[in-house]
Structure 1
């Protein structure tokens, strides 16, 4: 049953990616929406789950929050190192983004989608009602995952073929994750730690890269409204799932 539900996540992810690649004439709106979706996923979905699963304090601070900050700093460090490497080879770091950053971020999205599949499988092991609630949340926000995966990959200058490969991998990941629950169980503490770290990476990409890029050429009110709409969409999804 869990794998069949994950098939819905597969289709929604592809729908999100299809939407992202077919509105290129409104790129600033796409980026504004993607930034809002990412902010919503981090603040309203990932971080609360991380705190619940890995909430033990480390020197007075919850472990999940420490990893959240660590993920933010890690993303910043990786991007600066890649930008410096490109600059040393004669590239202008202000005009040329490092494609590796986009691929790494998209790879993290794939990993997150696999964890979504694991969550579906684990929830169905608890009971049908719990499984249905988790499945609703996953299927709904996988549209945002597909949208963001394609946007992140292409934003950093990767070819459309690579963006489509990462989108397909992101779509398949929930099914693989759901199937894996037939054979293994991920400790809750480890899952919470991963969600905290991944949340920090996503927040950096949204706040330091995607939203500034969205407003760089078109600082329009419509772009801001798309960002707010993205956050609001995730809020509705989380509320319905709860």
Structure 2
């Protein structure tokens, strides 16, 4: 198996992990405390993705100030997404309580998109590296899928819609993989690294403004900080031992 087909197969692995996490959220009764714990775990994982994977790679650029500015632009980018979601919600007559869950859904999609970009570009360079990246993302993406769907469930979004949205998580990672394979592999390095940094800035905003905020909307647990740092440690271990 070679070329673009291999890239799509590898990208499908983290997408499947994310879907299984969302499916678990559908099958069990998720209490407010459990949701808070899962959101803290997901926040820790996303923080590790940004701090250990995206930004260290981005700062290898010949002109580091460019991806640094892209990181700031990523925060502004997510702010624009959040306001767009709020505006659409208002026009449709939906309550503001749904804006947060949909913003989290968008944030998870951005994370999966960045996974796809890295898998696509890495597979071009070395198929074995692409495989390691894909396998390493699976245990990291499952908690994110669980937290995202559990949040949508608490917001009262219909089950059929939630399942379709869970399946929809496959799109951003496949699109990212295609972009990494066809476009960014021949783009200037500074552009590729800036895309990673912009994604990192957006994900940082997602963690602070949406995931952790949503986690404290209901009943919380004294174990929340442990799950937050545990999520970071989980991805760090994946990065070190699986080469993600």
Of 8, 13, 16, which aligns to 1:8? 13
Q: Would the alpha carbon gap of residues 127 and 91 (structure 1) be closer, same or farther in structure 2, given more than 3 Å must change? A: closer
| Superposition pairs of residues 5-154 of structure 1, within 5 angstroms | 5-21=10-26, 22-25=28-31, 26-52=34-60, 54=61, 56-57=63-64, 62-76=65-79, 79=82, 96-99=96-99, 102-103=101-102, 106-107=105-106, 109-110=108-109, 112-147=111-146, 149-150=148-149
1:167 aligns with 2:170: no
- Count of residue correspondences: 232
Structure 2 partner of 1:197: 198
Say whether the 8 Å CA contact 1:215–1:223 is kept in structure 2: no
How far 1:213 sits from its partner (Å)?
3.2
Distance (whole Å) between structure 1 residues aligned to residue 210 and residue 70 of structure 2 = 20
TM norm structure 1:
0.74
Distance (whole Å) between structure 1 residues aligned to residue 208 and residue 170 of structure 2 = 25
How far 1:44 sits from its partner (Å)?
1.9
TM norm structure 2:
0.73
Q: Would the alpha carbon gap of residues 178 and 219 (structure 1) be closer, same or farther in structure 2, given more than 3 Å must change? A: closer
Distance (whole Å) between structure 2 residues aligned to residue 55 and residue 157 of structure 1 = 48
Unmatched segments (≥5 aa) in structure 2: none
Say whether the 8 Å CA contact 2:114–2:176 is kept in structure 1: yes
How far 1:161 sits from its partner (Å)?
3.6
Distance (whole Å) between structure 1 residues aligned to residue 87 and residue 127 of structure 2 = 51
User: Root-mean-square deviation (CA), in Å?
Assistant: 3.6
Deviations 1:142-186 (A, max 9, x none): 32443354356557665444433232122354445546667x231
Distance (whole Å) between structure 2 residues aligned to residue 86 and residue 172 of structure 1 = 22
Structure 1 partner of 2:183: 185
Distance (whole Å) between structure 2 residues aligned to residue 117 and residue 77 of structure 1 = 23
